[in-house]
């Protein structure tokens, strides 16, 4: 196999998992679905990278004796820099996902898991520009691990949901200092701090954001807290900046949406965010900037981000990427049309354009809501 012609821009320590999904009686459950944090994070990064830079997206897939051939074909169709590790003596990692009406998810492994560790990364992966991890909350500054890269990558961390408990609050705040972006969802953040759920509208929710950002995220203390709030979109905060972005899919007049299954949307959001944070200037960013530069509100808001002005645009890319993932059970379908790469029969950049046009309208109508000012 020829050597890849791109440096690695994105790598994940998430696991590949084959999922069974139980929809709580709302509709029949499904089995053998391509899933896991790694698959969905890679889809998000791959949407943002585009076909031209697909080999800049790198990851590891552990292939057990029961690995479905059709799943292998799907993964290969993405043309990523994927390291397949085959082991016929074990089963592929499998898990069960159960959903409640309030979007709360239950999760359990059905076969022994094989967690990825930093030392498993190849030399090429170690030199990635950014690294995503879905890991347990660390003690003693163990997260993220030392990658020994020549230049420190950007670390994007999703705390593992099982450890989003009140007992782990101090470990959570300590671990935040070793990553650049920390992103629990609104349910998990609420559980960790003894709340039913986190909401931006409540004083309690605002006080919690202040507590986390004041405690410090990243080596300089000014990293990013990104709260993924499901159908409400996402909220991003640092010590000096904040922004709210609505979800890509919004209900129509009858209340209907194209959302089929939210599994993996958060992971794809973070994969796209991570990739976007290191790929400013490419076509999706050009589209966003050409539209939003018309807004004085946006221009002023962007100034507050200083040298990180690409981050709000990366958040837009992340929002659009998550919109692809919720449209079906499992991963979106890749294809070609008129010589262009399509996902679910749509171009990623075209959806970025459509979303950004909607955002421009609502930004002008409700600037305080988007910029989270009183």
pLDDT tens per residue across span 274-303 = 999 998 899 999 999 999 999 999 999 999
| pLDDT, tens digit (0-9, with 9 covering 90-100), for 211-225 | 999 999 999 999 999
In this predicted structure, what is the pLDDT of residue 256?
A: 86
pTM exceeds 0.85 = yes
Determine the number of helices (DSSP H) and then strands (DSSP E) in the chain.
12, 15
Is the pLDDT reported for residue 164 higher than 90? yes
Q: What is the pLDDT of residue 5?
A: 56
- Chain segment 230-248, per-residue pLDDT in tens: 999 999 999 999 999 999 9
Taking residues 170-198, report their average pLDDT.
95
Give dist(CA 306, CA 85) in Å, integer.
42
Crossing angle of the two packed helices 36-49 and 265-277, in degrees rounded to 10: 40
Q: Examine the pLDDT at 149 and tell me if it is beyond 70.
A: no
Return the pLDDT at 140: 36
Percent of the chain at pLDDT above 70?
93
Long-range contacts of 77-82 (CB under 8 A, 24+ apart): 77/334, 78/42, 78/43, 78/46, 78/54, 78/334, 79/51, 79/54, 79/55, 80/42, 80/46, 80/54, 80/55, 81/4, 81/6, 81/8, 81/55, 81/56, 81/57, 81/124, 82/42, 82/58
Q: Is the pLDDT of residue 161 over 90?
A: no
Burial class (CB in 10 A: 0-12, 13-18, 19+), 345: exposed
Give residue-wise pLDDT tens across range 316-334: 999 999 999 999 999 999 9
Spatial CB neighbours of 57, under 8 Å, sequence gap ≥ 6: 8, 9, 10, 42, 45, 46, 49, 78, 80, 81, 275
């Amino acid at each position: 196999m020829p050597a890849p012609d791109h440096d690695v821009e994105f790598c994940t320590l998430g696991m590949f998992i084959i999922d069974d999904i139980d929809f709580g009686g709302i509709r029949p459950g499904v089995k053998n679905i391509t899933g896991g944090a790694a698959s969905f994070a890679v889809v998000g990064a791959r949407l943002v990278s585009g076909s031209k830079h697909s080999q800049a997206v790198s990851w590891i897939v552990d292939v057990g004796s029961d690995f479905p051939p059709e799943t292998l074909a799907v993964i290969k169709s993405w043309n990523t820099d994927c390291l397949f590790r085959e082991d016929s003596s074990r089963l592929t990692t499998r898990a069960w996902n159960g959903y409640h009406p309030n979007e709360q998810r239950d999760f359990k492994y059905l076969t022994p898991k094989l967690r990825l560790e930093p030392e498993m990364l190849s030399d090429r992966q170690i030199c990635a520009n950014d690294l995503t991890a879905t890991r347990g909350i660390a003690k003693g500054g163990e997260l993220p691990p030392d990658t020994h890269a020549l230049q420190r990558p950007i670390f994007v961390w999703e705390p593992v949901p099982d450890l989003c408990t009140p007992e782990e609050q101090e470990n959570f705040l300590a671990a935040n200092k070793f990553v650049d972006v920390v992103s629990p969802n609104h349910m998990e953040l609420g559980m960790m701090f003894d709340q039913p759920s986190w909401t931006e509208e409540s004083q309690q929710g605002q006080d919690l954001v202040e507590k986390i950002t004041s405690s410090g995220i990243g080596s300089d203390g000014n990293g990013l807290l990104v709260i993924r709030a499901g159908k409400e979109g996402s909220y991003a905060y640092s010590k000096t900046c904040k922004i709210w972005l609505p979800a890509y899919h919004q209900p129509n007049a009858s209340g209907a949406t194209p959302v089929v299954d939210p599994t993996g949307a958060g992971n794809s959001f973070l994969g796209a965010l991570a990739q976007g944070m290191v790929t400013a200037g490419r076509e999706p960013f050009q589209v966003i900037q050409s539209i939003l530069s018309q807004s004085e509100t946006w221009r002023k808001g962007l100034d507050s981000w200083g040298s990180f002005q690409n981050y709000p645009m990366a958040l837009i890319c992340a929002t659009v990427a998550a919109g692809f993932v919720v449209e079906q059970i499992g991963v979106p379908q890749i294809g070609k049309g008129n010589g262009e790469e399509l996902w679910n029969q749509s171009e990623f950049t075209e959806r970025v354009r459509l979303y950004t046009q909607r955002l421009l309208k609502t930004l002008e109508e409700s600037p305080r809501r988007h910029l989270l000012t009183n």
